[in-house]
Each structure stands twice: as C-alpha cells, then as structure tokens.
Amino acid sequence: MQEVTRFMATATVKPKIQIGDDVREMNDAEFAQYEIDQAANKTQAKIAADKATAKQAVLDRLGITADEAALLLG
Amino acid sequence: MANTQTTVPLFVANQVLTAAQQNLSAGTGVPVFATTVTRDAAFGGSNKALAEGQLAYIEASNIVQYYDGAAWATVGPATASALTYITGASFSAVTSVSAPASTFTSTYQNYKLFLNITSGGTDGASIQMRMRVSGTDNTSAVYFYGMNGLGANGTRYDINAATDSKFIFTYQQAGLSNSGLTLDILSPQETVSTRVGGTGFGINVGVNAISFYSGGGTFLTATSFDAFSLISSAGNFAGSYKVYGYSNS
C-alpha cells in the first residue's frame, strides 16, 4: 500500500493530445519535446512582454498614446 | 423507376424474344440498377457474364460506373467543386491536435485548413503549427514566419520569428471562441519548402486585445510532409479543424 501511494505521488500526468480522432497521453518522446517547448514558450512570452513594456515606457516618457505615436509614424 | 432492371439477359440461338426483352435491350443502352447490390446480382449465372467495359448507372447514388475487369469504378459525375474535403476532427481538453497521416498526398498540391477554436487555452497562449511526417512533428529550427497584426484598438501587434521550431499564427483567450485560423498550405507533400499563409483571429500576447493577423510562413528545408499538428502553447484548447484539397485542374 505504501509503495502504491509513493508511486501515485511521483507519477507524472502527461498532457493529452489528439491524432485524427484518437486521444491519448503524450508518450515519453512527445513529453520531452513538450517540456522543451514550454521552456521556449516562456522565453518567447517574456521577450514579447518586455517589448510591450519597453514600448509603453517610451510612450510614457514622450507623454503620448500608442494611437498618437501611430499618427506620427504613419 | 422506369429504367430499372434486375437482369442483363443473355439470349441463345433460336430463342424467341418477347417485346419486353426487346424493349429492355433497346431502352437501356446503359443498364440502370437501383443499387450496387442489384447491379452485382444482375450479372453471371444465366445472365451476361460481367466483363471489362461493362457500364452501369446506379440510382441510389446517381453515378455512372464502368467495370475495369477487376472492380467497378465511377465515371461521373465529376466533382464540380474545386475544393475536396479530406479530413477533420473535433477536439477538446488536449494540448495539441494532429491530422492523421496521409492527409497530404500526391493527389493535391495545395490545401486549405480551417481551425475553429471553441474554447481557448491560457490567456495569450499562442496557437502553433508544426509540419508532420510518419507520426512525428518536425521540430527543426527552420520555421520562418511573419504575421502583420492589428488590434481592434488600433495598435499593431506583429508576430515574427526566424529559425523557430514552429509557426505561430495567432494567440488565444482562455475559454473563449474568438480565435481561429484560415490557412492555405502550398506543396506540403512535395519535397520542397512548405509555404503557409492566411489569417489568424484571436488576441495579442500581453494586454489581451482582440487582434487579427495576416501573413505567412515557410518551412525552409525541402521536406515531404503527410500531416500537421496544431498546438496550444499553454493550457488545453477545444474546437475543430477541417482540411480540403485544391483541385489541381
């Protein structure tokens, strides 16, 4: 019983995927790629968020809105 | 129906033919059958032996067929549409959905893909696309893409990357049905660069503004693919996709 409990505590629930009409958990190779992708996605999202923040900071410094900046650049 | 017949009679020497038999022969240049079952039952035995070149019209499906010596093949009517449905599926509570192998074949050069999201993943999670062959996504860093994005608030939210391991064409909003894709896929099955272009519906990443994207991408390395995957970068998504082949002529 202790062994079962320990196994349940450590088992990883892998995300589900669908291929055609079949739904199943990711296999080990797919899950390994998923984890690589999740790390890359976080990095990409941070870059995008930082870019948006930097853009807003410039607008704030200039004291204009994004629409006004678009008018200037258009 | 008036033309329907149940036999293809074989006349023998010195047989006296009835008017009904003559009318049947004269009236139906191509024998007409109710179904493929009655068609098959009408040949052989005391009837005419089925042989290559035999024609038949099937009422149940409104088609003309010929027998090629081994099987029945359909002559027509030819498909009027330039688009032929190939495959599709509904999905829910998954992080990715893949089209089955052999979605892309040599039958068509170019394809149309519709993705309708009914419930998005995590707010701002991207909808990614990877090309696929023999049941495995291609994760090579040769995906190049650029999408011009414009928010309904008037702010530009472009998406672009070079040497990425996937395409990103739009972003989703949690639990909502405001994201989707309409994409044209050029030459995925040929051993050339696969080019994908179209429209993305969704939001931007950051402030969740409703946004629309237009552009495309290229999987640069010449590779023959048989399918693709659509991936939610974070959270499960739900919806459906449909794939059509563009007629080559």
Q: Which domains does chain B have, with CATH numbers?
A: 19-76 (3.40.1620), 83-246 (2.60.120)
Tell me, what's the pLDDT at B99?
Answer: 98
Question: Which positions in chain B touch A15 (Cβ < 8 Å)?
Answer: 94-95, 236
Question: Does position A6 have pLDDT exceeding 80, yes or no?
Answer: no
Inter-CA distances, A67 with A49, A57, B34, Å = 19, 15, 68
In percent, the amount of chain A with pLDDT more than 90 equals 41
Residues of B in contact with A70 (CB under 8 A): 154-156
Q: Could you tell me the residue range of the domain that residue A9 belongs to?
A: 2-73
The answer to whether B193 touches B221, Cβ cutoff 8 Å, is yes
Q: Are residues A21 and B89, on separate chains, in Cβ contact within 8 Å? A: yes
SS3 for B19? helix
To the nearest whole Å, the CA of B172 is away from the closest chain A CA by: 13
**ipTM of predicted assembly, 2 dp:** 0.71
Which residues of A fall within a CB distance of 8 Å from B97? Answer: 17-19
pLDDT of residue A2: 57
Across the interface, of A18, A20, A41, the residue whose CB is closest to B94 is: A18
Q: Which residues of A touch B94 (CB under 8 A)?
A: 15-18, 23
Instruction: Round to whole Å and give the CA distance between B59 and B120.
Output: 46
Contact assessment for residue B115 and residue B232, using Cβ atoms and an 8 Å cutoff: no
Strand (E) or helix (H) holding A38: helix A28-62
Judge residue B197's burial from the number of C-beta atoms within 10 Å of its C-beta, 0-12 exposed, 13-18 middle, 19 or more buried: middle
Q: Is B140 on the interface with A (CB under 8 A)?
A: no
- Tell me what percent of the residues of chain A surpass a pLDDT of 70: 84
Per-residue model confidence (pLDDT) at position B164: 95
B89 lies within 8 A of chain A by CB: yes
Most confident of A36-45, A49-58, B23-32, B68-77: A36-45
- The single residue listed with the structure tokens 């009422």 is B59
3-state SS string for B118-159: EEECCCCCEEEEEEEECCEECCCCCEEEEEEEEECCCCECCE
Task: Return the amino acid letter for B77.
Answer: P
Other CB atoms closer than 10 Å to residue A62's CB: what's the count?
A: 11
Q: Give the pLDDT score at B8.
A: 76
Bridge partners, residue A21, by sequence = none
How near does any CA of chain B get to the CA of A1, in Å?
A: 32
Stretches where chain B sits below pLDDT 50 are none
Q: How far apart are CA B146 and CA B139, in angstroms?
A: 18
Quote the CA–CA distance of A74 and B19 in Å, as a whole number. Answer: 86
| Residue B155 to chain A, least CA–CA distance (Å) | 7
Residue given tokens 């704030």 in the structure block: A60
Q: Residue B139: its chain A contacts at CB < 8 A?
A: 33
Place of tokens 């179209």: B198
Chain A residues within 8 A (CB-CB) of chain B?
15-21, 23, 33-34, 37-38, 40-41, 44-45, 48-49, 52, 66-67, 70
- Give contacts of A37 with chain B, Cβ < 8 Å: 165-166, 231, 233
Element (H, E) at A25: strand A22-25
Asked whether B146 and B217 are in contact (CB, 8 A), the reply is: yes
Q: Which residue has the higher pLDDT, B230 or A56?
A: B230
d(CA B178, CA B72): 47
Contact B96 A67 (CB under 8 A): no
* pLDDT in the model for residue B157: 85
Note the pLDDT of residue B154: 83
What is the spatial distance between Cα B84 and Cα A42, in angstroms, rounded to a whole number? 39
pLDDT bucket at A3, cuts 50 / 70 / 90: low
> Is the pLDDT at A30 greater than 90, yes or no?
yes
Q: Is the Cβ–Cβ distance between B219 and B99 less than 8 Å?
A: no
A33 with B156: Cβ contact below 8 A: no
Residue count of chain B? 249
Residue of A nearest to B159 (CA): A48
Q: Does B166 contact A17 at a Cβ distance shorter than 8 Å?
A: no
Nearest chain A residue to B98, by CA:
A19
Cα–Cα distance measured from residue B149 to residue B147, given in angstroms and rounded to the nearest whole number: 6
pTM: 0.71
Pairing of strands B227-232, B210-223: unpaired
Distances (CA, A) of B196 to A49, A60, B82, B165, B220: 26, 38, 19, 15, 11
Helices A66-73 & A28-62 angle (0-180, nearest 10): 80
Amino acid B30: pLDDT = 84
If one counts the domains in chain A, the total is 1
For residue A41, the SS3 value is helix
